[in-house]
Amino acid sequence: MDFFDKVGKVALGSRLRLMTAAITDDAAKIYELYGLDFMPKWYPVFYLLTEEREITITEIANEIGHSQPSVSKIIQEMTAAGLVHENLKTEDKRKNSVALTEKGLLISNELKLQSIDVEAAVESLIAESNNNLWAALEEWEFLLEQKSLLKRVVENKKLRESDDVEIVEFEPKYQDAFKALNEEWISTYFEMEEADYKALDNPKEYILDKGGKIFVALYHGEPVGVCALIKMHDKDYDFEMAKMAVSPKVQGKSIGWLLGKAIIKNAKDLGAKKIYLESNTILKPAINLYHKMGFQKVSGLPTPYKRCNIQMELIIG
């Protein structure tokens, strides 16, 4: 297995397929050893039929985790081999129940002896190995059900790419990017409003000179995301997190998360106890992000924005 040692764990699927092919080849030879005209791929369906007596194709597919077309094909092959017959109650074959024929029942008895020997052989493999593959498979199946390999790769991709993101404080050279990024997302979903122009055209006057902050996300040196911390004059809130915008070209790199965390840290450093924000529920990724950061829904504050239909707050511990 020098190849797999060299390639590494990225070849997991290929290595599993190679082992599966070797075991399947041996399984076919084992059936021949016991004088059985039987295909290894039939076994899960055949086993259910020995347990359930009569069962529909849909029920078989659900039980063994195969697709209905796959099970239907296996049933057709087993029927041609004289092992199974269908009880044709409906025109929908998925709802027809299937059962073993006399020949199938005879083979099921012969398979019991074979199963004893195969079980013993597998147990000997487990005893000889340092790792219990059967137990490991159960554990991997559980873990992959909780979080798929795809989702794990997506998370690691985001983590790796976020290392190339730098969060910096606003400088005048970023004013065009601050406005353009916000105009892009607002115009995609809503219409620009008077309050938008006030903040985007005059960030120094409207945000910075009043005690606020603006952070810019740089990806390979290019400004691709922005977010502002606006000073509020409200008895309940110290600051508002606003004007968060990330370029669609770089979404999926955790830039919104990094900007939000920078905003929260800065607010905490400034002694803030609560941060407020306004958004719209059609922006589901944004709402999910705010929840992930710890924001909770509130209501009651007047808003200058027509597009606002949800208000949230974060209590800083």
Q: Is the pLDDT of residue 88 over 60?
A: no
* pLDDT at residue 36 greater than cutoff 60: yes
pLDDT, tens only, 231-245 = 998 888 899 999 999
pLDDT of residue 159: 82
What is the torsional sign of CA 221, 295, 149, 6? positive
CA 243 to chain centre: 28
Q: How many CA atoms lie within 13 A of 178 on its CB side?
A: 26
Tokens of 317: 């511990």
Where does the pLDDT of residue 14 fall: very low under 50, low under 70, confident under 90, or very high at 90 and above?
A: very high
Residues 262-287: pLDDT tens digits?
999 999 999 999 999 999 999 999 99
* Mean pLDDT calculated for residue range 148-175: 90
Burial tier of 13 (Cβ tally within 10 Å: 0-12, 13-18, 19+) = exposed
State residue 3's pLDDT score.
83
Torsion of the alpha carbons at 80, 81, 84 and 88, rounded to the nearest 10? 10
Domains and CATH numbers, the chain: 34-146 (1.10.10.10), 162-315 (3.40.630.30)
User: 48 near 64, Cβ under 8 Å?
Assistant: yes
Least confident range of 156-170, 204-218, 269-283:
156-170
* 55 vs 30: CA distance, rounded Å: 27
Alpha-carbon distance of 189 to 11, in angstroms, equals 42
Convert the chain into a string of H (helix), E (strand) and C (coil).
CHHHHHHCHHHHHHHHHHHHHHHHHHHHHHHHHCCCCCCHHHHHHHHHHHHHCCEEHHHHHHHHCCCHHHHHHHHHHHHHCCCEEEECCCCCHHHCEEEECHHHHHHHHHHHHHHHHHHHHHHHHHHHCCCCHHHHHHHHHHHHHHCCHHHHHHHHHHHHHHCCEEEEECCHHHHHHHHHHHHHHHHHHCCCCHHHHHHHHCHHHHCHHHCCEEEEEEECCEEEEEEEEEECCCCCCCEEEEEEEECHHHCCCCHHHHHHHHHHHHHHHCCCCEEEEEECCCCHHHHHHHHHHCCEEECCCCCCCCCCCEEEEEECC
The pair of three-digit structure tokens given for residue 50, joined into one six-digit string: 């020995």
